[in-house]
Amino acid sequence: MKEQTKSMKPYYYEKCPVIRALDILGGKWRLAIIWELSRYDSMRYNELKRHLSGITNIMLTRSLQALEQHDLITRNELCQIPPHVEYAITERCKSLLPALEIINEWGKLEK
């Protein structure tokens, strides 16, 4: 039998694209942010905060950073008066929206 220093069988996680995707999409708040942003061209931080009742500043900031790192959202600094930041989903993220639509319909039937 071939010598197995470490379990040669990769964890399921590494093999399965569905799990890899959900690793990136992460917890509920990241999907909630994507879902909200998908309904507008772009949104400011405070607008997002108002729409996501219950989210803390720390959670919103961290989730936005993670989504930006994974090229799911863009963060644009607008030099207007007053200067402000706007968030929007990327084309890469838009390719996921049909899946979220299906999940959204499915969730409506769940009591």
- Site residues (CB under 8 A) for a second copy? 7, 9-13, 15-24, 28, 31-32, 35, 51-55, 70, 95-96, 98-100, 102-108, 110
Q: Are 60 and 66 within 8 A, CB to CB?
A: no
Q: How many residues does the chain have?
A: 111
Q: Closest separation between CB of residue 77 and a second copy, Å?
A: 26
Q: Closest separation between CB of residue 51 and a second copy, Å?
A: 8
How far apart (Å, rounded) are the C-alpha atoms in residues 71 and 89?
9
Q: Closest separation between CB of residue 3 and a second copy, Å?
A: 19
Q: Is the CB of 51 or the CB of 75 nearer to a second copy?
A: 51
Short-list 27, 64, 62, CA closest to 48: 64
